[in-house]
Amino acid sequence: MNREEIKVKLLEYIKEKLEADDITETSKLEFYDEFSSIFVVELILFIEENFDVEVSYEDYSLDKYSDVSSIVDLVIRNERKD
C-alpha cells in the first residue's frame, strides 16, 4: 500500500472510532473525547490486522499516535520487509 491508501484507511477507522467527521491528517487526536489508551490499543490491533504490520514495542506510547500523519509514518516504518 502506498502512503495515500494507508492514510485514507486510517482516517476512515479513526473518524469512526473517535466519532468525529472533522479529523484530518494533521488533527491532534488527543483533543477528541474518545482518545484514550484503549483507543490506541485498538488502533494498534487494527494496524497489525489491516496493514500486515507488526508494531514494535517502542511504538506503544500515546505520543506516537498524536495525529494521522504520525500514524501513517509508523505504519510505513513498521512494514514487514519480505
Give the domains, in start order, of the chain with CATH numbers: 3-77 (1.10.1200.10)
User: Band of the pLDDT at 82, cuts 50, 70, 90?
Assistant: low
According to DSSP, the residues that pair with 53 across neighbouring strands are: 79
CA dihedral sign, ordered 57, 14, 66, 5: positive
pLDDT tens digits, 29-75: 999 999 999 999 999 999 999 998 999 999 998 899 999 999 999 99
Eight-state DSSP code of residue 79: B
pLDDT at 20: 96
Higher per-residue confidence, 61 vs 24 = 24
**In the prediction, which pLDDT does 6 show?**
97
